[in-house]
Amino acid sequence: MNVLLPDVAAEPDSRGVELHAVGIRGLRLPVLLHTPLKTVQQVIAVTDLSVDIDAEQRGAHMSRLVEALYEWASKPRTPEDVKTLLRRARDRMSSRSAQLKMQFPYFLQLAAPITRTPGWLDVEVEWNCWLSNGASYAISVFEFPTMTLCPCSKAISEYGAHNQRALVRIWLQTKDNLSRLPDEYLPLVQESASSLVYPVLKRPDEKFVTESSYENPRFVEDVARELALRLTEREELSWFRVECESIESIHNHNAFAMYESPKRK
C-alpha cells in the first residue's frame, strides 16, 4: 500500500525572502580524478554544494544534491567536469545558480633529489566554483609544503642558519574559468622556495637538501615575490594570489607574506 507523504519543502512561502545559497555542507565522498599523467587517482573529498531558491519556495530537497554528487562521482572525472555537476544540481533543483566547494588531498609523485627514491607529496586542493545564469567561474587553491632558510640568520651567524617548514598557498583563476590540479605549478614552487619538502630522504638526499637550502636562503617575502613573478608569466591565468607562511622554528609565532595580482582581461 502506497502512502502519499506530504512534501513540506515544496510548500509556498509568504515571507518574500529569496535565499542565495541553500544546500549541504561537509559531505565526504570518494572521487576519482584523471591526472595530467594519464592516471586515475582516488581522493576523499569534503564537499559543500548549494543552489539558490525563490522567495516563494519554502525549502530545498537536499537529498537531490547528495544524489547529484554521488552520480557525478560514480566515474572518473577531470577538473573540467565540475561544470557538469553544477548544471546537474541547478537543473535538478530548478534553480538559477549553483555553488560548489570541494576540498581534498592530492598526491604528486616526487622522487628524492639524489637517490631518486620514489615518494608521494600531499598537496591540499580546494575548488570553489559557481554557475549562475549561464556564466561560470572557478578558483583553485593549492597548499604546498616547502622549506625556508632565513637569510638574516645566515648573515649574522658564525655557522648555521635557522630553517623551517613553510606553506605556500596559491589561488588561481584561469581565463577559461575551469578548475585546475596542482601538477604543473609544483616546479614554480620549487624554484621559489629554499627547498621542497620531500616525502622520503636517504642520507645523501638529506645532505643535498640541507646544503642546497643553505645556499638558497629565502624570507617569506622572497618566496612570495619569486612566485608572483613566475605566475605573472603564465598566460592561462586571469588572476592569482600567492602566500607563504613560515612555521617559525625560533619564534612562537609564524611569519607570512602575500601578493595578489590585478585582474587580467
Tell me the average pLDDT across 192-218.
96
Look at the block and give the residue holding cell 622522487: 111
Number of Cβ within 10 Å of residue 231's Cβ equals: 20
The per-residue DSSP string of 208-236 comes to HHHHHHHTS---HHHHHHHHHHHHHT-TT
What's the confidence (pLDDT) of residue 194?
97
What's the confidence (pLDDT) of residue 51?
95
Average pLDDT, the chain: 94
In whole angstroms, give the CA distance from residue 232 to residue 253.
Answer: 30
Using CB atoms within 10 Å of the CB of residue 43, give its burial: 0 to 12 exposed, 13 to 18 middle, 19+ buried: middle
Residue 150 backbone phi and psi in degrees, to 5: -75, 120
| Whole-prediction pTM | 0.93
110-265 has CATH 3.40.50.300 classification: no
In whole angstroms, give the CA distance from residue 148 to residue 247.
Answer: 9
Question: Would you state the cell numbers that stand for residue 128, as one nine-digit string?
Answer: 570553489
Q: 242 - beta bridge partners?
A: 170, 259
What's the confidence (pLDDT) of residue 60?
87
Q: With contact defined as beta carbons under 8 Å apart, do 32 and 77 qualify?
A: yes
The per-residue DSSP string of 139-199 comes to EEEEEEEEEEE-HHHHHH-SS---EEEEEEEEEEEETT-----SGGGHHHHHHHSSEEPPS
pLDDT-derived band at 30 (thresholds 50, 70, 90) equals very high
- Tell me the pairing of strands 19-34 and 40-53: antiparallel
Q: Parse the chain into domains and list their residue ranges.
A: 20-102, 110-265
What's the confidence (pLDDT) of residue 219?
95
Tell me the average pLDDT across 136-162.
95
**DSSP-derived 3-state class of residue 87:** helix
217 pLDDT exceeds 90?
yes
State which amino acid sits at residue 13: D
pLDDT-derived band at 7 (thresholds 50, 70, 90) equals confident
1 pLDDT exceeds 70?
no
Tell me the average pLDDT across 1-28.
87
Q: Angle, nearest 10°, between helix axes 62-72 and 82-92?
A: 150
pLDDT-derived band at 76 (thresholds 50, 70, 90) equals very high
Q: How far is CA 55 from CA 11, 16, 20, in A?
A: 11, 5, 10
87 closest CA partner among 134, 124, 46 = 134
| pLDDT tens-place string over residues 234-243 | 999 999 999 9
**DSSP-derived 3-state class of residue 110:** coil
Number of Cβ within 10 Å of residue 46's Cβ equals: 14
What's the confidence (pLDDT) of residue 135?
85
Measured in residues, the chain has a length of: 265
What's the confidence (pLDDT) of residue 206?
96
170 closest CA partner among 216, 123, 132, 106 = 123
What's the confidence (pLDDT) of residue 265?
65
